[in-house]
Amino acid sequence: MSNMDPGQAPRAKEAGSSSDKTSFDAMKMVHIAHSFSHQQDKATIDSVLRDWRGYIAARFALTPDQQSFLDAVDDGRHQELAGLLRDVVDSGGSERLVVVMVADHERDGGMYHELRKESVEESNQGLRPNFVIAHCDAHCRNWGWGPA
């Protein structure tokens, strides 16, 4: 018999750890992006700015391909993304991170996600953001840098 509440999402157990972790999916990515854009969760922002790879690995049960992607990020790319995240925080709300779900019937799951940095002013004017940080498939796997 499970001790899990009926509305609670199932958790994956990390090998060799006594703690339970949830899987990393699009909603987790949206939550992290929202934390940066609205600066409501200072603890999350500080932790991600210190080490975004470590933050994700420590809090989520990653699939082997998600872990491989994190492991393959070189220091230059790590610093570049950390700088982009810092820019969003330092912008005082004029820039934000967004997760966009893009329909693509040629892909597994019929869509993919893009993590974008955008200007709030340009977005309000209806201009499409042109800075795609990274993308992944519908299941938050098969990551890549830049647009898909």
pTM (2 d.p.): 0.74
144 within 8 A of 30, measured Cβ to Cβ: no
Question: What gap in Å lies between CA 89 and CA 129, rounded to an integer?
Answer: 18
Res 130: pLDDT: 66
- Residue 93, beta-bridge partner list: none
* Average pLDDT for 29-40: 81
What does the pLDDT look like over 91-121, one tens digit per residue?
Answer: 888 888 888 888 888 877 788 889 988 888 8
Rounded (5°) CA angle 76-119-113 = 65
Q: What secondary structure, in 3-state letters, does 13-38 show?
A: ECCCCCCEEEECCHHHHHHHHHHHHH
Report the range out of 32-41, 59-68, 136-145 with the highest average pLDDT: 59-68
For residue 46, the surrounding DSSP H or E stretch is helix 42-50
Pairing of strands 95-103, 111-119: antiparallel
Question: What gap in Å lies between CA 112 and CA 100, rounded to an integer?
Answer: 8
The answer to which of 79-88, 117-126, 138-147 has the lowest mean pLDDT is 117-126
Pairing of strands 111-119, 132-137: antiparallel
The distance of Cα 118 from the centroid of its chain, to the nearest Å, equals: 15
